[in-house]
Amino acid sequence: MWTVSQLGADLASGKTSSRALLEEALARIADPAGEGARAFLKLYADTARAESELSDRLRAAGVRRSPVDGLPVSVKDLFDVCGDVTRAGSKILADAAPAPVDAPVVARLRAAGAVIVGRTNMVEFAFGPLGFNPHYGTPRNPWDRATGRVPGGSSSGAAVAQADGMCVMALGSDTRGSVRVPAALCGLAGFKPTARRVPREGAFPLSFTLDSIGPLTNSIACCAVYDAILAGEPPAPPVALPAKGLRLLLPRSSALEDLDPKVGADFEAALKRLSAAGAVLSEVPVPAFDRQDEYFKGGGFAGAESYAIHRARLERIDQFDPRVGKRILLFKDYSAGDYVELGLLRAAFMREVDALAAPYDAILMPTVPSVAPTLEEAGARDEDYFRWILRVMRNVGLINFLDGCAATLPCHAPGTAPVGLMVAGSALADRHVLAVAATIERVLARGG
Is 4-230's fold the same as 247-290+345-447's? yes
Is the confidence at residue 448, as pLDDT, over 70? Answer: no
Q: Within 10 A of 218 (CB to CB), how many other CB atoms are there?
A: 21
Is the confidence at residue 137, as pLDDT, over 70? Answer: yes
Over residues 98-135, the pLDDT tens digits come to 999 999 999 999 999 999 999 999 999 999 999 999 99
Residues identified as active-site: 76, 154, 178
State the average pLDDT for the chain. Answer: 97
Is the confidence at residue 259, as pLDDT, over 70? Answer: yes
Over residues 290-335, the pLDDT tens digits come to 999 999 987 899 999 999 999 999 999 999 999 999 999 988 888 9
| Contact predicate 280/245, CB 8 Å | yes
**What is each CA distance from 2 to 114, 138, 196, 217, in whole angstroms?**
14, 24, 29, 9
What kind and span of H or E run contains 172?
strand 169-174
| Contact predicate 182/155, CB 8 Å | yes
- Phi, psi for 407 (deg, rounded to 5): -110, 150
Is the confidence at residue 49, as pLDDT, over 90? Answer: yes
Pairing of strands 247-252, 189-192: unpaired
CA distance 21 to 216: 18
DSSP states of 327-380: HHHTTTT--HHHHHHHHHHHHHHHHHHHHHHTTSSEEEEESSSSPPPBHHHHHS
Confidence of residue 236 (pLDDT cuts 50, 70, 90): confident
3-state secondary structure of 19: helix
Confidence of residue 242 (pLDDT cuts 50, 70, 90): very high
Q: Hey, where are the domains in the chain?
A: 4-230, 247-290+345-447
- 358-380 as b/e: b if 16+ CB within 10 A: eebbbbbbbbbbbbbbebeebbe
pLDDT at 333: 87
Over residues 60-82, the pLDDT tens digits come to 999 999 999 999 999 999 999 99
3-state secondary structure of 11: helix
CA distance 374 to 348: 38
Of 373, 368, 424, give the one whose Cα is nearest residue 392.
Answer: 368
pLDDT at 447: 54
Is the confidence at residue 422, as pLDDT, over 50? Answer: yes
Is the confidence at residue 177, as pLDDT, over 90? Answer: yes
114 burial via Cβ count (<10 Å: 0-12, 13-18, 19+): buried
Confidence of residue 224 (pLDDT cuts 50, 70, 90): very high
Of 429, 380, 18, give the one whose Cα is nearest residue 193.
Answer: 429
The residue count of the chain comes to 448
For residues 248-252, give the mean pLDDT: 98
Q: Is the pTM of this model over 0.95?
A: yes
Tell me if the domain spanning 4-230 has CATH number 3.40.50.150.
Answer: no
- Phi, psi for 57 (deg, rounded to 5): -65, -40
Q: Which amino acid is at 166?
A: M
- Whether the CA torsion 44, 49, 50, 51 is positive or negative: it is positive
Over residues 334-378, the pLDDT tens digits come to 899 999 999 999 999 999 999 999 999 999 999 999 999 999 999
Confidence of residue 393 (pLDDT cuts 50, 70, 90): very high
CA distance 230 to 215: 9
pLDDT at 446: 77
CATH superfamily, domain 247-290+345-447, is: Amidase signature (AS) domain (3.90.1300.10)
For residues 171-176, give the mean pLDDT: 98
Strands (E) across 195-330 are located at 212-217, 247-252, 280-285
For residues 23-30, give the mean pLDDT: 98
